[in-house]
Structure 1
């Protein structure tokens, strides 16, 4: 009986001692949504369009100086083209907000949650994240660079996975020069 008591006590001491040395120092750093920037670029047979989308909120998680996680919410109601002016800009912005594209009436936000972060060099990380657009979630992988209180990254997204099929040659025949390519680019410049 005495032996079992000593063994139990020793197990507790080892367990508490080990946990004291394995605790994580996770620190969540909120992204400054006013100074951070998300830009998009979409491509079609006859050219491209580009613009911005506002971050609603976001944070990056660090263990010491190592990135370990992050999550973001994007305000899809803010999607706007920057390469057009006047009526052409209004028409494209309205179309992007319609159900043909991002359906902001039903889906006013999109989100991203990091699921895996792997160092990929000095200040660089390979990030796998769950991206949710129009209520559909799929994994994306991209590189994110972190320098001091700034982070930059770019991700290529296949819009058809999120039920954004307007003008897609993968779903519609005979579009000719009206074809819009399935993939578009997002570039993020974050301050935190």
Structure 2
């Protein structure tokens, strides 16, 4: 009889321990589920009014810059989608009809310069009124982009500084694009007296809002 009581007590203790263990397991699993946040995709849309894209073009001779002109172009639309700090997708459109010059004060000369930049020897704006920019990747401070300009594609990495504040993402970058043979005027047969460089420098400040 004594053996029966001992066996019954041992069984009850084992059953209680097993039930308690299962309860703890359920609690731990529930706690783990709560602690794992769900990261959702967020799309930031272009704030065109706050965004700036400035350009600088140069006249070079024997590899040295002799003089330069500068101005601006408008980024008309675009967005960037992120999942936390992970890049998802992005694209932008530059309105080439908005190209302007900032350093030539004489109105007639300014107009002539802008007209030259817009004609078929340079950006050929009538045929290509918009430049599409696709963001291929964005990791850390490096963004890989493909620029579709003057009927050709130019893919390269650019260094980007990113800041986030109250639903606004700001991306800033200074980079240069060598358009090569896509700009006929930059490749004259006689380069004795210098020529317009096919490399154009850009200073970009993209402002995007959720």
TM-score range, shorter chain: 0.7 to 0.9
Q: Supply the distance in 1 between the matched residues of 2:145 and 2:151 (Cα, whole angstroms).
A: 15
Q: Supply the distance in 1 between the matched residues of 2:207 and 2:68 (Cα, whole angstroms).
A: 28
Q: Supply the distance in 2 between the matched residues of 1:190 and 1:99 (Cα, whole angstroms).
A: 29
Counterpart check, 1:107 vs 2:122: no
SS at match of 1:166: helix
Partners of 1:42 and 1:183 within 8 A in 2: yes
| Aligned residue in 2 for 1:130 | 146
Q: Supply the distance in 2 between the matched residues of 1:98 and 1:36 (Cα, whole angstroms).
A: 26
Q: Show the 5 A alignment for 1:59-98.
A: 59-85=79-105, 86-98=107-119
| Aligned residue in 2 for 1:58 | 78
Q: Supply the distance in 2 between the matched residues of 1:83 and 1:117 (Cα, whole angstroms).
A: 34
Partners of 2:86 and 2:139 within 8 A in 1: no
| Aligned residue in 2 for 1:29 | 44
Q: Show the 5 A alignment for 1:32-43.
A: 32-43=47-58
For structure 1, the residue ranges without an aligned partner over 5 or more in a row are 1-20, 120-124
| Count of residues paired in the alignment | 163
Deviation for aligned residue 1:68: 4.3
Q: Show the 5 A alignment for 1:179-190.
A: 179-190=195-206
Q: TM-score, normalised by structure 2?
A: 0.71
Deviation for aligned residue 1:137: 1.3
| Aligned residue in 1 for 2:174 | 154
Deviation for aligned residue 1:140: 1.6
Deviation for aligned residue 1:57: 0.2
SS at match of 1:176: coil
Deviation for aligned residue 1:159: 1.4
